A = this chain, B = another copy of it.
Amino acid sequence: MVAHQDYIIATYLIHGKNDFHKKANSIAVGLTVGTWTELPETKKKQMAAHLGKVIEVAELEPTADGEPRALCKIGYPVRNLTPDLPALLTTVFGKLSMDGKIRCMDIEAPDSFLAQLPGPKFGVEGIRQQLGVAGRPLLMSIFKQCIGMNLAELEEAYRHQVDGGVDLVKDDEIFFRDDYAPAVERVRLFNRINREKEGRTGQKTLYAVNLTGPVTQLVDKAKRLVEQGADCLLVNALPYGLDILHRLAGDPDIRVPLMAHPAFSGAIYASPEYGLSSPLLLGKLMRWAGADMVLYPSPYGSVAMPQADALKVAEYLREPSPVHRRSFPGPSAGIHPGLVPALVRDFGTDLLVNAGGGIHGHPQGSTAGGKAFVDAIRAAVEGRSLQEAAQDSPELKLALEKWGSLE
């Protein structure tokens, strides 16, 4: 009987082997103690606690092409790893990632291990508290252009977005060379605009500034930005490596939520036969590493994820956990006001409604675009149809005329 609390259990989808039990056994031994059957008995005693275990081998129906396939669950002793994402990825999908048609579908880890990973510092409840927003999805707007824009131009674009009533505004994730409008200046300026807006309307706004630089300096840079008024950090967690998310989330001086961008994630999750599943990568690993909010492709837009996967990402981000706070899913790309009822129906209200073109492309501009979303969100939460809500909202009416709706 395997004591599950001592093992990290990875589930693999494997195609094309002749003997899946043999393969599973070679993984369990090869990726832990390296060799087993030829060890002397005394050595086996010493090594037993470090030996991997085959938990389950479930052969599936072959593919349409007749290729055999199976789901194999392998347990890796927790004591083989340090509690961090590089150790986890190297152990369960390091060498194995190169070993034929194999995909890591899921990882289950005991709470004793997970408790050593930071998880979200604020999570759904903490961010709602910061914003003073309950019972409805949050609304986020993305800058339409960042690269090449100077501070005055970004300020104007920022004001237009904030005036539309969004809860958050985020940088473009490709905004690295920001010489014309350095991050620290954007943070100072937009923080002032946020406070003005709050004074005027009572509504709080968070600006997610793109955190860039040498990975060795990101924690220090984050601290400097927070000192200057940053209230949210956008992190390209996969290009920089998931461990930096862990270190940012684990630092007590970085007292702002972390928003993980999925840049490069498709290189890892998009194939059905290789890599990691999107729920594992964007749901579990991002949350374990400390993302308070995770952006990823919605099931609706042009850059789309299959609905079951997109829902599973959200499930992993928000399912109850005794050790980690819940994260906000932000199913993105191609989101317009007409999709809000579908988003709320499919994902509930603990959700980031994240729009770029769906705000800036509004016939009356970005402020009206934000307003159309605000009104759509209110209607969806109140259970009113968008058509009905549009009778009192010319902005929503125009948006629906332009983009239609999924109702």
Contact = CB atoms under 8 A, between A and B. Distances in A.
A28 to B, nearest CB: 13
Contact of A271 (B46, B49, B274): B274
B274 A267 contact: yes
B177 A80 contact: yes
A155 interface: no
Interface in A88-141: 89-91, 93-102, 104
A82 B267 contact: no
A33 B172 CA distance: 10
Contacts of A212: 82, 86-87
Nearest to A97: B266
Interface stretch (A160-168, A238-246, A314-322): A238-246
A34 B145 contact: yes
B243 A214 contact: yes
Contacts of A268: 267-268, 275
A219 interface: yes
19 contacts: A34-B172, A47-B145, A47-B148, A80-B147, A80-B148, A80-B177, A81-B177, A85-B239, A86-B215, A86-B239, A89-B239, A91-B176, A94-B239, A98-B265, A98-B297, A215-B215, A215-B244, A241-B244, A274-B274
B97 A214 contact: no
A90 B267 CA distance: 11
A213 B213 CA distance: 20
Contact of A147 (B32, B93, B240): B32
Given A35-B145, A94-B239, A271-B273, 11 more contacts: A31-B174, A32-B174, A33-B147, A89-B264, A94-B261, A95-B173, A98-B303, A216-B218, A268-B268, A271-B274, A271-B275
Interface of A: 31-35, 46-47, 49-50, 79-82, 84-87, 89-91, 93-102, 104, 144-148, 172-174, 176-177, 212-216, 218-219, 236, 239-244, 246-247, 261-268, 270-271, 273-276, 296-297, 302-303, 305, 333
B50 A147 contact: yes
A244 B242 CA distance: 12
Contact of A46 (B91, B101, B148, B241): B148
A94 B219 contact: no
Contacts of A242: 241
Nearest to A220: B216
A304 to B, nearest CB: 9
Contact of A94 (B46, B93, B263): B263
Contact of A216 (B82, B96, B216, B296): B216
Given A50-B147, A267-B276, A86 B236 contact: yes
Contacts of A176: 80-82, 87, 90-91
A33 to B, nearest CB: 6
Contacts of A276: 267
